[in-house]
Amino acid sequence: MARAPKTNSRINNNDYYRTRLKVGTTEQGKFIYKNFYGKTKGEAEAKKKEYAKELENGINPDLGNQSLGMALYNWLWNVEKLSGLKSSTFERYEGIYRNHIKGSQIALQPVKTIKKIALQKQYTDMVAQGKTIPQVENIHKVLRKFFKFALSEDYISKDPTIGVKLPKTNEDDFDSEDKNIEVFTQEEIKTIHANLEDEKLRYIALFSLFTGLRLGEILALEKTDVKDGYVCVNKTLSIIKIFENKEKYHYEMKAIKTKTKSSIREVPIPAPMQTELSRLKILVAKERIKLGSAYEDNNLLFPSITGTYIDKRNFTRSWTRFLKRIGVEHKKFHALRHTFATRLIENGVSIITVSKLLGHSSIQTTEIYTHVMKEEKEKGIMTLNDMLS
């Protein structure tokens, strides 16, 4: 058995070998050291040697003197990518850098010269240019982590992200689909239910209608998430860009944490839906037997016919074809979630309860359903205008 490499430092539960180089002295006469880390002693020493060589050649490799854009790029690929960061998190960081920071005005400034007021102005300008509040918040999270690293490595003397005031919003958990509320009528629901066959589309559609879960949340569910008549929501299915290196990547479907803490919730499953889940269990068992050893059992509540995650894009296309076939006006699958919320409010369920069931962090987000209902009532009354004419 090969002997494990010698290490002397532990970061984020990973072992490294650390060596250091004296690079100067403070005004008080104390030595300034720069640390170098590697998975082996040889790797760490090689980094130190390369750094010293660049200093001798008059090149300052210190991150603090690089532009923010260049430094952030190097930090992402040479520190974060190798730190054991989840692929979904790295993809998010890389996307934030590429789409929102790279090429911006502040990305051109040297790291050590960036002050709090410059960041404050950058965020304000971004909002004025059309970026959403959640986007700015995510940009700040990445920069906060980067500057924290820069401070810990003595590239900067003060973290400029501390004290920056971010714009506030109550819509951080608002779905893009929620901005155009579509609700199925009672007759449409009856038509949909009458035409659903013994297939995954049936059970997924009914589950959304009876629980209000988003499609991604439903497709990420595992069998163990359903217990004692409740479904525990704590993840969602997403398509993640997996980087093999800086130029090569591929996409994978992965279950990731829900986007907000309030999205983590337990929702009661009505009795009719529990009966449907029993029928689903029989369907899945038949699929497993039919496929035999080729079936991949991933413990999913709503697996594909091979046991893997159901592709959201394929499912959406199936939903569109289904509505067209049965003659129901097309509405997005998300309309089932809207229908769930609207019916609850119509039946007298409190707005607070509906908000918690939907996983909203603010009642103000849920109140859009009451506004829609008010508009529908007004339209209904308008039909009486000519009653006496």
Give catalytic residue positions: 214, 246, 334, 337, 360, 369
CA distance 92 to 12: 19
Distance CA 99, CA 76 (A): 14
Over its C-alpha atoms, the chain yields an Rg (Å, rounded) of 27
Q: What pairing do the DSSP bridges indicate for beta strands 9-11 and 14-25?
A: antiparallel
Buried b (16+ CB within 10 A) or exposed e, 75-86: bbeeebbeeebe
19: number of Cβ within 10 Å? 20
5/243 Cα distance (integer angstroms): 27
Q: What is the DSSP letter of 27?
A: T
Any residues with CB less than 8 A from the CB of 308 and at least 6 apart, and which?
Answer: 253, 296, 298, 300
CA-CA distance, 337 to 205, in Å (whole number)?
A: 10
Q: Which residues contact 64 (CB under 8 A, 6 or more apart)?
A: 71, 110, 111, 112, 150, 155, 156
Indicate if the alpha-carbon torsion angle 170, 260, 268, 333 is positive or negative: positive
Tell me the residue ranges of DSSP E strands in the chain. Answer: 9-11, 14-25, 31-38, 226-227, 230-233, 235-243, 249-257, 265-268
